Structure 1
């Protein structure tokens, strides 16, 4: 990932620095609703197959069920404070979204090359959203431990599964993992009483790009969007050329900050860009003026025809 470039036009309010950092540190443990940050993107609504046009009148037909639905998959990526979860919407089969989404996560099958998975190769037999729990049933010989993994990575790996399944099912119900009908540990974590989602600001990246998608072809006006928790709700953005130089920059304003990640959206005029490959980057504002770990960054490669 390219090192972030600090736009020239962004001025920091140094007088509020110490107070703001203290407030942000105190808000990281708030127990907020993880599925509240899972709005479905407009471009990823369920798709319904269309019937061919017939020249003869036909009897009215009942609409078929959607073939696919958009599923939020929470992969793992780097951040200034260590590995964090990054959401990527993917189309999965509508009749089996939980298992399809979990399969993408376990395989680390992310479109963004900066994302991956920390989960072992779980042999998932079924996933069921029951009353009060999300129950993952594994095959008897499925690997559920990795002694080489640190405790923090193991906890984040389990949270990636919790967030993914809760986001798909749109529920806050905890995760239970079973083999032969009995709860088992997953990467050293007991699941018999259910594993709940950790507070978002403790495990999620503080900035995440939903649109544009990786390798999207864009021209005219780019509508960029995502979620973030950034100082004063200011989300910086840059478009970098193939050499890493900043060709365009600006900022968007999220609908909130401090206690959760909140949606942001901005429109960018691309008419001044020559055809070629570019990188769209979204960054959190850095109130420490370089004294802290640095801004969170999420990037997507784009192509201007």
Structure 2
């Protein structure tokens, strides 16, 4: 596990715009809610119901006055990576500290390299980096270093190509805190990205088509935490129920509960909870947040996002 300095949480995100081609909307069936799931105790695992206040919804663009400072010459930026979900590959957001000299390019570099703190995340970009990323009147302009990304890489499907384009769009729009269209250029002229025409500017697809249905913002991967453990993130989960678990090094569940997101059904909504971990022995654990699964696994199972932490 690679551990890096703790990032500062930002209230960023992106509003729903045009959907992404052949991505299906999620469906749910059954009647059991996350509260009912969380209340079933097995092996004497403690259960807990918590509902705390939440930060402004990161699925809407806000008038935040700029990126948070993370130290001398640094800012904290959102970077979108790719991870596995029951719906296939989706985007997960991770906040990272980068140089404040050129945060747009630094975030794009982390994205293309797949340089995520969480080992469950990766990238669809097959190596390489962009030459520059600049915010200009009416667009965010991304300059490619060569024509290596003009066509799909070997083994890349059309859906993966569209998701890779969205990985770029969500990242640079998140850093710029703007929904400006993204143009990919070479020598000042528009060029395709993995076979996708970018001349008219790439726009962010609807979150339900490209984002994972649950994403943990805090605790961060590799963090050392005390009691209460404060967890937060975003989710689109059945009836807004967000079950969570704490697992020990063997994978056994030592504590479980649920919290409630601000909404559900059409986008990702913020959730937040505080968990009393004072009775857990100090050591390494994994915090897992998930979507409610009223189908009992028949629909592919819940989406999960996990973070390895140390309880001190």
Would you say same fold, with TM above 0.5?
yes
Alignment partner, residue 205 of structure 1: 212
C-alpha RMSD of matched pairs (Å): 2.3
Alignment partner, residue 118 of structure 2: 112
Aligned length: 259
Quote the offset at 1:141 in angstroms.
4.8
Q: Which residue, out of 97, 117, 121, partners 1:91?
A: 97
Alignment partner, residue 233 of structure 1: 240
Alignment partner, residue 48 of structure 2: none
Structure 2 residue runs without a partner (length 5+): 1-31, 38-56
Alignment partner, residue 305 of structure 2: 298
1:192-223: CA deviations, max 9, x gaps?
01111110011000000000011111122110
1:135-163: CA deviations, max 9, x gaps?
10112354433132011111111100000
Q: How does 1:103-252 map to 2 (within 5 A)?
A: 103-145=109-151, 146-252=153-259
Q: Which residue, out of 250, 274, 277, partners 2:281?
A: 274
Contact 1:38 1:167 in 2 (8 A): no
- Between the two structures, name the one with larger relative contact order (CA 8 Å, sep ≥ 6): 2
1:245-289: CA deviations, max 9, x gaps?
110111111111111101110000111101221110001001222
1:137-191: CA deviations, max 9, x gaps?
1123544331320111111111000000011101111111111111111111010
Contact 2:133 2:143 in 1 (8 A): yes
Contact 1:206 1:296 in 2 (8 A): yes
Separation in 1 of the partners of 2:134 and 2:98?
16
Distance change in 2, residues 1:298/1:111 (3 Å): same
What secondary structure, in the 3-state scheme, does the structure 1 residue paired with 2:124 have? coil
Distance change in 2, residues 1:258/1:190 (3 Å): same
Separation in 2 of the partners of 1:106 and 1:38?
26
Contact 1:122 1:143 in 2 (8 A): no
Normalising by structure 1, we get a TM-score of 0.80
What secondary structure, in the 3-state scheme, does the structure 2 residue paired with 1:83 have? strand
Runs of 4+ deviating beyond 6 Å: 37-40
Alignment partner, residue 74 of structure 1: 80
Separation in 2 of the partners of 1:187 and 1:97?
24
Structure holding more helix per residue = 1
What secondary structure, in the 3-state scheme, does the structure 1 residue paired with 2:70 have? coil
Contact 1:34 1:200 in 2 (8 A): no
Normalising by structure 2, we get a TM-score of 0.78
